[in-house]
Structure 1
Amino acid sequence: MKGPEPARALFDRGIRAVGGRARARVVSTLAATLAVDGADKGAVSAMAPQLRDTFGINNIQIGLLVSVVALSGAVFTIPVGLLADRTRRTRLLALSVTLWVAAMILAGASPSYGWLLSSRAALGAVSATAGPTIASLMGDYFPIKERARMYGLVLAGELVGTGLGFALSGSIGSFLTWRFAFWWLVIPGSALVWFLRRLPEPARGGQARPAGDQEHTLDEREVPEGGDRGEPQQTAQPPEAGRQDGDPAGEAARRARVEPHEHLVLDSDPREASKWWSVRYVLRVRTNVVLIMASALGYFYFTGLRSFATLYTTDHYGLSTSVATSLALVVGVGALGGVLSGGRIADRLLSGGRVNARALVPTVCMLTVPVFIASALYTTSLAVALPLLMVGTLLLGAANPPLDAARLDILPPLLWGTGEGVRTMLRTLCEAAAPTLFGYFSTTVFAGHGGDSGTALEYTLLFFLLTLVAAGLLGLVAMRSYPRDVATAEASTQRIEKSLRAPGEREH
């Protein structure tokens, strides 16, 4: 009878740490959405040896199976981002996962490489919805000063899903066939659709109330059982005073007496402008462009590393596929620790008055990662390589939550979906290029160095660490421009709120 008590106490403690059951439901559902997508990508890497043998393909074609998902997703992300600013986001996300489940069934049934490649392209088209809709929902569900920490919890879902994709798909594929490594994902995907349909749609405009009071942000009293079935509220939330109390980035910018870019301050609802005007506007925000490029370079390397991790481990250390995927799961623990701690550290620094904290933390991480990963790849001892890789992936994971929160800080809330759509498109283009480029360099450019595929992959992974160095250098630029763009976004939000409350103004 006493067995369940410690588990129950731990569960209740976790619920309180997040801020209540309503918050926990939102975080877990959004994290699960990223998890199923990550599990699919992990499954391709875990089954790379089997797919190579079944279809007689090389590393370039294996990389293309990952690249085509990102490439097709890049085509749809900007339209989805614009749609996320103008329609019910939870419904859009549920529909996307439903189509994702259907595409997974087709992928597992593939009779040829061409069929599998086509089904992967369909997966990319529907998975493009996740980035813009989740970013927009995060901004409206959670208060500003907690946003990076909460983003870390949601992003942890992608890493957990990727780890499960490696481990479970590797085991299932080894005992059965590679087809079941894809088909098992249909079960959690179908369950996720049920939860997404019951997720409440938050009011637009961002959390205006203080974050410290959990009962005043996302609370059971504000979330009807089963979710809000009505249409989303299309007005920004007042008042300015609430935003000031709950916005540490804005407060730090004001204390530093940072002036906004007046030519970028908006005076009216941006959704009334054309869709392409919205796209052009988010690209005029300097910090946004710099952070998008830095984030894209980070994802470029992570995608390439993830795509060939199993092949590299089996070839370099002579391990079986099941053991290699298990080791990948161990390394993934480091990345999970990073996403859970990176946002918390940035939020703490921001609350302490460090106005550019959400740009500082990712910059330090990106510049430090290559040291650990290069050392891990250089050593021939698996016992030495594992802890080094864990630290490297920890730093890589720690960069993402502050980056994602920073992009919300520098754009008005009514453009969050559009901004994330642009970011996701550019990021997925880099993700699309990474596996194919990694495969090309390992089979062509470095093929003659050392005489085996493991050594060629090693040189490839070392060479592309330069992208992380470039991402860190871009972070140094963002640290300078971020405070003023925060002030600009805050000024725009206040003026938009005033225009929406003006007498005679059309309600949205």
Structure 2
Amino acid sequence: MSPTASRSEPDEDPAAFSPFPGRPPVTVRRGAPAPFGWWPAVCVALVAAIDRIEYNLLAGALPRIQAEFGFGDAAGGAIATAGSLAAVVLLLPAGRLADSARRTWTIAAVVAVWSLLTVGTGLAGGYLTLFTVRVFLGAAGQLYNPPASSLLADYYPGPGRTRAFGYERMAYFGGLPIGVIAGGALAQSVGWRTGFFLVAVPGLLVALLVLTLREPVRGTGDRLTLWYRGDSATPPSPRAAPEARTGAAVPVRAQIRELLRIRTLRTVVTGLSILFFGLGGLFYWMPSYYGRFFGLGEAQAAAVAGGTGLVGIVAGIVTGSWLGDRQGRPHRGRRVAVGGAGLLLGTVALAGAVAVPVLLPQALCFGLANFGFAAALANLTAANADVVAAERRGLGFAVLQLLVTLGGSLGPWLIGLASDATGSLRYAFAAVLLPLLVGSVVVLQGRRHYDADAAAAAHRSV
């Protein structure tokens, strides 16, 4: 490829590459964003969507469940917080497993467990049973992320990586309002218990779809990225590369210390942890806010909160992925800069959503906030994959997910406590604005380390 050629277009000269053990070589064109097709990204996106839909059914159905079981806002927020905290216990083992076991099988098993626990939610006879089942679901809900993120990084080299992770993030956060809408609508139309039973079926189907994916050799995406950049005349053969060091003999604390020496990883973790603190609480309580403050019914409140959130998320992911993959290659530090700018835009728009007392402009501000946050998430998640070497990528995403989960788990509970204390969800929402602003500044400050960290990770992976 000539130095002046656009790197977003595949090169005319194809090459044979062997990414799947026991399978014949496949033909890859230099610069192709999806050399093995987009089906793996679609499958992982479906997994992310099912995760959030099943998890957030509770938020949409919460007013009706509270009326039946008779618990307050603090107890309602504690369900989400306890489930997220339970996930922390399993995330690091899941990360180590993602760096050694067959990732497609792990993901399929996790999705099947989600569906069974969703059925269990519909069978709950009281608050204690509901709380227990949702804690198990919250714990299992985070376990797909380390193997799925590692898998995406191996399927998609640099030119398509932001888009692939963007699809996953779009489905993850798109599934959140879909779950809220479905929870409210199903609770009102067929009853909240039947709603949980119905949503378990698609989860089992998605688990079967994941089994159609092949398992690529670890580091495949990084080898192709180096070839795309002209660092080698042909794609480095996975068979010629050293075996991936899974770290089985290295204590997990030592591995985590090694990961946290990566400056860009620290930036991404800090920014996303603070973002999830605010975003998790806002989405959990926004349907209740629309019902109390604007007098909407359950289905209407869930539709407004979920609909505006979904539109903003889709638009933000599409725009953010385009910016990340288009500008991220020649000036890769821009990928982190786009993330920081998105966080800042989302924070400012969220301040408007909290301050405006009229429904239409308030909903527009809420949608714009989701636009900014989604654009940031696509780029920062891809940046995390870029700066961690292939043999540590599962654990790297586990560390990210662990700290993000700790941040996000506090949001629903603390907003619920603040609401009970002040008597107003509106005042409770205002408390998350300052942490979000801090997260934006941290990410923008961290962009200068990205280029060096990404180059080091790519060379270590091959």
| Aligned equivalents of 2:370, 2:456: Cα separation in 1 | 34
Counterpart check, 1:271 vs 2:234: no
1:360-409 Cα offsets, whole Å, 9 max, x none, are 01111112222211112211211211222111110011110110111111
Verify the 8 A CA contact 1:141 1:207 in the aligned structure 2. yes
Structure 2 counterpart of 1:465, from 430, 433, 437:
433
Cα separation, partners in 2 of 1:246 and 1:474, compared to 1, 3 Å: farther
Cα distance, 1:172–1:268 mapped onto 2, change above 3 Å = closer
Write the distance in 2 (CA, Å) between the matches of 1:288 and 1:160: 25
**CA distance 1:278–1:125, shift in 2 (3 Å):** same
1:187 aligns with 2:187: no
Match of 2:230 in 1: 245
- Cα deviation code 1:432-464 (max 9, x no counterpart): 2111111011111x23xxxxxxxx211111121
Match of 2:61 among 37, 47, 68: 47
DSSP-derived class of the 1:207 partner:
helix
Amino acid at match of 2:360: A
2:97 to 76, 83, 86: 83
Match of 1:401 in 2: 378
- Corresponding residue to 1:138 among 148, 152, 158: 152
Matching residue of 2:443: 475
**In 1, distance between residues paired with 2:191 and 2:244?**
56
Corresponding residue for 1:303?
280
Structure 1 residues 118 and 360 mapped into 2: Cα distance closer, same or farther (>3 Å)? same
Amino acid at match of 1:296: S
1:32–1:292 CA distance, 2 compared to 1 (3 A): same
Q: Determine the C-alpha separation between the residues in 2 that align with 1:246 and 1:110.
A: 58
Cα RMSD after superposing both structures = 2.2
TM normalised by structure 2 equals: 0.86
Partner deviation per Cα, 1:268-313 (whole Å, 9 max, x = no partner): 9363641412222112212212211111111111100111011100
Structure 1 Cα separation of the partners of residues 114 and 393 of structure 2: 24
| 1:192-236 CA distance string (max 9 Å, x none) | 11111222111111314657xxxxxxxxxxxxxxxxxxxxxxxxx
Q: Which moved more, 1:404-413 or 1:123-132?
A: 123-132
Q: Tell me the amino acid that sits aligned with residue 263 of structure 2.
A: R
Native 8 Å contact 2:415 2:428 kept in 1? yes
Query: Given the alignment of the two structures, is residue 119 of structure 1 paired with residue 119 of structure 2, yes or no?
Result: no
How many residue pairs match? The answer is 420
SS at match of 2:38: helix
Q: Is the 8 A contact 1:339 1:394 kept in 2?
A: yes
- Contact in 2 for aligned 1:74/1:425 (Cα 8 Å): yes
Query: 1:373 and 1:461 mapped to 2: Cα distance?
Result: 9
Is 1:485 aligned to residue 441 of structure 2?
Answer: no
Higher mean C-alpha deviation, range 460-469 or range 78-87: 460-469
Q: 1:368 aligns with which of 321, 340, 345?
A: 345
Q: Does 1:380 align with 2:357?
A: yes
Aligned match for 1:173, one of 175, 187, 203: 187
Match of 1:60 among 74, 84, 89: 74
Equivalent residues of 2:267, 2:446 under 8 A apart: yes
Q: TM-score, normalization: structure 1?
A: 0.79
- The letter for the 2-side match of 1:30 is V
Dislocated runs of 4+, deviation >2 Å? 17-20, 22-25, 208-211, 243-247, 266-273, 490-493
Checking the alignment, whether the CA contact within 8 Å between 1:339 and 1:398 is kept in structure 2 is yes
Q: How far did 1:246 drift?
A: 8.5
Q: 1:270 to 1:82 in 2, by over 3 A?
A: closer
Cα distance in 1 for partners of 2:116, 2:108 equals: 13
Alignment partner of 1:416 is 2:430: no
Distance 1:18 1:480, change over 3 A: closer
**Contact preservation (8 Å) 1:209, 1:245:** no
Partner of 2:235: none
Contact 2:33 2:161 in 1 (8 A): no
Q: What letter matches 1:269 in structure 2?
A: R
Task: Determine if contact 2:80/2:412 at 8 Å carries over to the other structure.
Answer: yes
After the TM superposition, which residues 98-113 of structure 1 pair with which residues of structure 2 at under 5 Å, given as runs?
Answer: 98-113=112-127
Are the counterparts in 2 of residues 30 and 134 from structure 1 also a CA contact under 8 Å? yes
Q: Among the aligned pairs, what percent are the same residue?
A: 25
CA distance in 2 between partners of 1:189 and 1:299 (Å):
24
- Quote the residue 1:154 is aligned against: 168
Gaps of 5+ in 2: 1-31, 233-241
2:370 alignment partner, SS class: helix
Query: Over residues 123-181 of structure 1, what are the superposed CA-to-partner deviations in whole Å (9 max), with x where a residue is unaligned?
Result: 12322221101110110011122101121112221133223212222111101222123
Residue pair 1:267, 1:492 contacting (<8 A) in 2 also: no
In structure 2, the CA distance between the partners of 1:34 and 1:393, relative to structure 1 (3 Å rule), is: same
User: Deviation string for 1:71-117 (max 9, x for gaps)?
Assistant: 11111111100110001000001111111111111111000101011
Query: d(CA) in 2 for partners of 1:148 and 1:42?
Result: 26
Contact 1:270 1:278 (8 Å CA) reproduced: no
| More deviation, 170-179/416-425 | 170-179
Contact 1:294 1:474 in 2 (8 A): yes
